[in-house]
């Protein structure tokens, strides 16, 4: 009787340990899988020409990812520029100023924004943002624009990362001990001065880490961006140009990629680029955030 | 301006900016929901959710998108069950079998955080290569596998968050009574049940809304799959593919599908909040 209980415990331990290790190894397996698949194109072309050439002719075996990389960078930067101030101010208000009543209204709203699927944002972008840009924004700057632009993709992506940023910021701000705030307030500082000189200064690494995390999220978004970015191959020259970010490239060509030599391999290389960048960004920012979390204890 | 007045002025300006930011956030929420609901309600009809598309999903004017609803339910149902089976043991292992300052637990949490951040298109591409390796075509099975991979990190992270604050004393009390760690899990389960429920709702929401990964793995079809090896339609792809059609009736189908998807996600999110609020009160 006693023995069977211990055996049961040991068996459970072993199974759980194995499952945990397998789950952790998924990171490595994904990396190896994508690398093996992109190996043919890597052997055939130099890494330099893949990353910095803008010749994209799959039929002739020319794979220069520069237009797609630039598209991703443009869209991501714009999205963060839109989302960062809004999220920062909202998070400051919610942690430093608001009464619980306000939070009761704002949290469900943020919940909804966070829960809506990417494709819904895409529909919203196509129906609201794209016409708005082509009719009201673009005419002031260029002669004609369809509205499917870097700007549209940036706005849609910006809205999508707001809930993530706000929740990360709230977590970061809550790690500041109340004593520090009270000390500052007792010296006669206003709430804003306290926020600016105590809370933000203390959490600057956390704010940066959260932003990097949001950047990596924005880079990988696919469907919503695909629906509003225009999908024209070329390096965008301004925010009213169409663009073609990497995830859109992968999603758009998934069907036909098997018919051409190296094409599949090149697309898997695109996925590998995304994976590596996201991996590095995530690791860096998570390490900073963990440190903050542990420092508070 | 005296210093005191300047201070008050800046304070007011800061407050105005913050109010403006929150106003913008609310504006976005209302704009998105209004767009989906106003378009969706006009296009909605009983046929939409009870009939298969007639004459091809891209050009046929007849019918609805029952294929996508059923396909999504199959994929989400199966992968939620699989996801739970894999992630509950992992969460228990991290929190009960390992000590608080274990290196393995640190690495594991880091790995799941990273996996959580991996874009779904990468899961899709990776899943696709695996499927080709095993000789599978785009199919229901492929969709289930890829979505399971996608939601496991979400499951583990949210459940882990709920379990992490679990008081160590309760474990010690249970051990002191002579229970093994395996038997102690009964106590843990009771405490974190609301956490598991919230994590499940959250994962279902992510699973049902993800389009990029199922695009590779499950494909799209007009009919309801009858076996695991047939391709399956899903709701987000029903929106995505039909929205670009030149035929108004087909676009209406996309709007209606978007409405259905939004309502599902909405209900899941409200239930999640409710469970969190309701059960976090009488936690130990």
| Residues B223 and B98 reside in one and the same domain | yes
| Residues B65 and B119 reside in one and the same domain | yes
| Residues B28 and B116 reside in one and the same domain | no
For residue A266, give the chain B residue with the closest CA.
Answer: B125
Q: What is the mean pLDDT of residues A278-293?
A: 88
Lowest mean pLDDT across A162-176, B18-32, B67-81, B177-191: B177-191
pLDDT at A296 over 80: no
Instruction: Provide the pLDDT confidence category of residue A19 given band limits of 50, 70 and 90.
Output: confident
Lowest mean pLDDT across B14-28, B143-157, B182-196: B182-196
**Least Cα separation, residue B268 to chain A (angstroms):** 9
Tokens (6 digits) for A115? 């829960």
| Residues B23 and B109 reside in one and the same domain | no
Locus of tokens 């239930």: B271
Tokens (6 digits) for B14? 């800061």
Q: What are the tens digits of pLDDT across the range A182-205?
A: 999 999 888 899 998 999 998 999
What local confidence, expressed as pLDDT, does residue A297 receive?
53
Question: For chain A, what are the domain ranges?
Answer: 51-295
What 3-state DSSP class applies to B118?
coil
Q: What are the tens digits of pLDDT across the range B191-244?
A: 888 888 888 998 999 899 888 888 888 888 878 888 888 888 889 988 988 888
Cβ partners under 8 Å of residue B198, min gap 6: B158, B162, B272, B275, B276
| Residues B25 and B144 reside in one and the same domain | no
Q: What is the mean pLDDT of residues A202-216?
A: 92
What local confidence, expressed as pLDDT, does residue B20 receive?
94
| Residues B96 and B27 reside in one and the same domain | no
What is the DSSP annotation of B36-99?
HHHHHHHH--HHHHHSPPBS-TTT--B---HHHHHHHHHHHHHHHHHHHHHHHHHHHIIIIIS-
What local confidence, expressed as pLDDT, does residue A235 receive?
86
Q: What is the mean pLDDT of residues A68-75?
A: 92
pLDDT at B283 over 80: no
Contact assignment for A282 to B129 by CB distance below 8 Å: no
- Of B245, B248, B233, nearest in space to B43 by CA: B248
Q: What is the mean pLDDT of residues A225-231?
A: 87
Which of A113, A223, A226, A284 to mutate to probe the B interface, most B CBs <10 Å? A223
- Number of folded domains in chain B? 2
DSSP single-letter state for residue A255: T
| Residues B141 and B213 reside in one and the same domain | yes
Please, what is the end-to-end C-alpha distance for chain B in angstroms?
A: 54
Chain B residues inside the 8 Å CB shell of A122: 239-240, 243
Instruction: Provide the pLDDT confidence category of residue A1 given band limits of 50, 70 and 90.
Output: low
Instruction: Provide the pLDDT confidence category of residue B273 given band limits of 50, 70 and 90.
Output: confident
* Spacing of C-alpha A55 from chain mean position: 27
pTM above 0.80, yes or no: yes
Cβ partners under 8 Å of residue A36, min gap 6: none
The ipTM assigned to this model is 0.89
Locus of tokens 């082509």: A134
Q: What is the mean pLDDT of residues A114-132?
A: 92
Q: What's the CA gap between A23 and A49, in Å, rounded? A: 35
Domain with residue B62: its CATH number is 1.10.3720.10
Domain that holds residue B211: 49-280
Closest partner CB to B114 (pick from A16, A223, A282): A282
Q: What's the CA gap between A57 and A185, in Å, rounded? A: 63
- Of A212, A210, A219, nearest in space to A91 by CA: A210
Q: What are the tens digits of pLDDT across the range B79-127?
A: 999 999 999 889 888 888 887 778 888 888 889 989 998 999 999 888 8
| Residues B37 and B112 reside in one and the same domain | no
Instruction: Provide the pLDDT confidence category of residue B284 given band limits of 50, 70 and 90.
Output: very low
A51-295 fold: MetI-like fold (1.10.3720)
| Residues B76 and B30 reside in one and the same domain | no
The CB-based long-range contact list for A201-204 (8 Å cut-off, 24+ gap) reads A202/A176, A203/A172, A203/A173, A203/A175, A203/A176, A203/A292
- Of A200, A23, A221, nearest in space to A120 by CA: A221
| Residues B98 and B32 reside in one and the same domain | no
Contact assignment for B120 to A220 by CB distance below 8 Å: yes
For residue B101, give the chain A residue with the closest CA.
Answer: A294
More confident residue, A288 or A49: A288
Which residues are paired to A63 by β-bridges?
A56
pLDDT at A259 over 70: no
| Residues B30 and B67 reside in one and the same domain | no
Q: What is the mean pLDDT of residues B156-179?
A: 85
Cβ partners under 8 Å of residue B94, min gap 6: A20, B105, B108, B109, B160, B163
Instruction: Provide the pLDDT confidence category of residue A261 given band limits of 50, 70 and 90.
Output: low
Q: What is the mean pLDDT of residues B2-8?
A: 85
| Residues B29 and B131 reside in one and the same domain | no
**Least Cα separation, residue B142 to chain A (angstroms):** 15
What local confidence, expressed as pLDDT, does residue B57 receive?
63
């Amino acid at each position: 009787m006693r023995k069977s209980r211990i055996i049961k415990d040991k068996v459970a331990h072993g199974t759980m340990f194995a499952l945990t290790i397998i789950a952790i190894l998924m990171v490595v397996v994904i990396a190896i899988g994508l690398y093996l698949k992109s190996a043919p194109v890597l052997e055939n072309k130099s890494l330099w020409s893949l990353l910095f050439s803008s010749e994209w002719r799959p039929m002739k075996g020319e794979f220069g990812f520069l237009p797609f990389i630039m598209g991703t960078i443009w869209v991501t930067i714009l999205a963060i520029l839109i989302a960062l101030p809004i999220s920062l101010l909202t998070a400051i208000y919610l942690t430093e100023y608001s009464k619980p009543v306000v939070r009761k209204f704002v949290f469900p709203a943020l919940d909804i924004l966070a829960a809506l699927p990417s494709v819904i944002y895409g529909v919203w972008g196509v129906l609201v943002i794209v016409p708005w840009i082509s009719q009201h924004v673009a005419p002031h700057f260029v002669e004609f624009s369809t509205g499917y632009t870097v700007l549209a993709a940036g706005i849609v992506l910006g809205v999508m990362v707001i809930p993530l940023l706000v929740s990360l910021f709230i977590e970061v701000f809550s790690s500041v001990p109340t004593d520090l705030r009270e000390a500052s307030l007792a010296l006669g500082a206003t709430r804003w001065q306290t926020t600016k000189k105590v809370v933000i200064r203390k959490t600057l690494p956390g704010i940066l880490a959260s932003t990097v995390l949001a950047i990596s999220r924005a880079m990988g978004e696919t469907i919503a961006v695909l629906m509003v970015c225009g999908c024209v191959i070329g390096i965008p020259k301004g925010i009213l140009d169409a663009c073609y970010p990497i995830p859109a490239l992968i999603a758009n060509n998934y069907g036909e990629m098997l018919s051409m030599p190296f094409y599949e391999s090149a697309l898997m290389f695109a996925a590998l680029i995304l994976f590596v960048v996201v991996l590095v960004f995530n690791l860096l920012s998570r390490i900073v955030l963990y440190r903050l979390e542990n420092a508070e204890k | 301006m005296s210093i005191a007045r300047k201070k008050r002025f800046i304070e007011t300006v800061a407050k105005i900016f913050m109010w403006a930011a929150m106003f913008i956030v609310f504006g976005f929420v209302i704009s998105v929901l209004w767009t989906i609901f106003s378009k969706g309600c006009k296009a909605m009809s009983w046929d939409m959710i009870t009939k298969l598309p007639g004459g091809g999903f891209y050009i046929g004017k007849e019918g609805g998108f029952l294929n996508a609803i059923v396909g999504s339910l199959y994929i989400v149902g199966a992968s939620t069950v699989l996801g739970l089976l894999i992630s509950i043991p992992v969460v228990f292992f991290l929190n009960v079998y390992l000590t608080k300052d274990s290196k393995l637990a640190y690495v594991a949490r880091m790995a799941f955080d990273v996996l959580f951040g991996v874009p779904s298109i990468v899961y899709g591409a990776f899943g696709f290569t695996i499927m080709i390796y095993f000789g599978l075509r785009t199919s229901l099975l492929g969709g289930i596998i890829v979505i399971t991979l996608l939601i496991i990190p979400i499951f583990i992270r949210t459940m882990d968050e709920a379990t992490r604050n679990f008081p160590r004393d309760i474990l010690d009390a249970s051990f002191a009574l002579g229970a093994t760690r395996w038997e102690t899990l009964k106590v843990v389960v009771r405490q974190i049940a609301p956490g598991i429920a919230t994590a499940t709702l959250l994962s279902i929401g992510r699973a049902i809304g993800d389009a990029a990964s199922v695009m590779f793995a499950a494909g799209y079809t007009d009919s309801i799959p009858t076996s695991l090896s047939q391709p399956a339609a899903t709701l987000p792809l029903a929106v995505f593919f039909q929205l670009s059609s030149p035929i108004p009736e087909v676009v209406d189908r996309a709007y209606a599908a978007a409405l259905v998807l939004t309502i599902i996600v909405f209900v899941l999110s409200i239930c999640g909040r409710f469970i969190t609020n309701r059960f976090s009160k009488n936690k130990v």
